[in-house]
A and B are shown apart, each in its own frame.
Chain A
């Protein structure tokens, strides 16, 4: 499974757009890119997933360049409640297979 690298922490202010970039140089052809969000003392929550180009849902956007060696999670107009750890995962997983989490990016949103 491809290894991912993402910043350990990021700070932002309410109302700003936040972009978290994840590097995955060894991504395989059949790998998907998935992002999870985790609040303290809670289980991770699926945010968004993509294979290439751009994916958007009601929560976030995911930008994936043509070489797929990196991806960027974009959170529009963050609020205090977006303070959490964000994990980038890469893998096919065989559909609901084991998920490989790194240490994630701790996002702190300030008023």
Chain B
């Protein structure tokens, strides 16, 4: 079992550009959540996808958007990048109706640097 995988590992962009991050959930999982983790802070919830629809959303602007594909993989898109978007972006997967409450499996993250 490969667990949750994310690509790319690292990414450097300049202000104003757009970026797409990718996530493949753990085998058997159907729900994908995205988190942003700034240096020295805990992860902050961006949004969650289930059945190819955004089900929950945290306090992030519309510049942050996502997509879930029929195979449950997901993408996070960020438009008009700002310096403050520099962070570790984490993908987490889970299975609805299974496992303990609040148990999500996280990937290793994508380190985004905006210059």
Chain A residues packing against B (C-beta within 8 Å): 32, 34, 41-46, 49, 87, 89, 91-93, 95-104
A-B contact pairs, 22 of them (CB 8 A): A32-B100, A34-B101, A34-B102, A43-B92, A43-B106, A44-B90, A49-B101, A49-B103, A87-B42, A92-B101, A93-B101, A95-B97, A96-B33, A96-B102, A96-B103, A97-B102, A98-B56, A99-B92, A100-B45, A101-B35, A101-B42, A103-B42
Q: Which of B41, B58, B108 contacts A103 (CB 8 A)?
A: B41
Bound CA span A102–B40, Å: 11
Closest A residue, CB atoms, query B91: A43
Interface of B is mostly: loop
Bound CA span A41–B44, Å: 16
Asked whether B65 is an interface residue with its Cβ less than 8 Å from the other chain, the reply is no
Task: Kindly count the residue-residue contacts between A and B in the assembled complex, taking CB atoms under 8 Å apart.
Answer: 79
How many interface residues does chain B have, given as a range? Answer: 20 to 34
Asked whether B109 is an interface residue with its Cβ less than 8 Å from the other chain, the reply is yes
Closest A residue, CB atoms, query B97: A95
By CB atoms of chain B within 10 A, which of A34, A44, A96, A101 has the most? A96
Q: 1/0 contact trace for B94-108 toward A, CB 8 Å?
A: 111101111111111
Nearest-neighbour CB distance to chain B for A59, whole angstroms, equals: 14
**Beyond A96-B33, A96-B104, 18 additional pairs, beta carbon < 8 A:** A41-B108, A42-B108, A43-B92, A43-B107, A43-B108, A44-B90, A46-B103, A49-B101, A49-B103, A96-B31, A96-B94, A97-B48, A98-B45, A99-B33, A99-B43, A100-B45, A101-B35, A103-B41
The reply to whether A101 and B104 form a contact with Cβ atoms under 8 Å apart is: no
Q: 1/0 contact trace for B51-93 toward A, CB 8 Å?
A: 0000010100000000000000000000000000000101110
Bound CA span A89–B40, Å: 17
The reply to whether B92 and A101 form a contact with Cβ atoms under 8 Å apart is: no
The reply to whether A96 and B99 form a contact with Cβ atoms under 8 Å apart is: yes
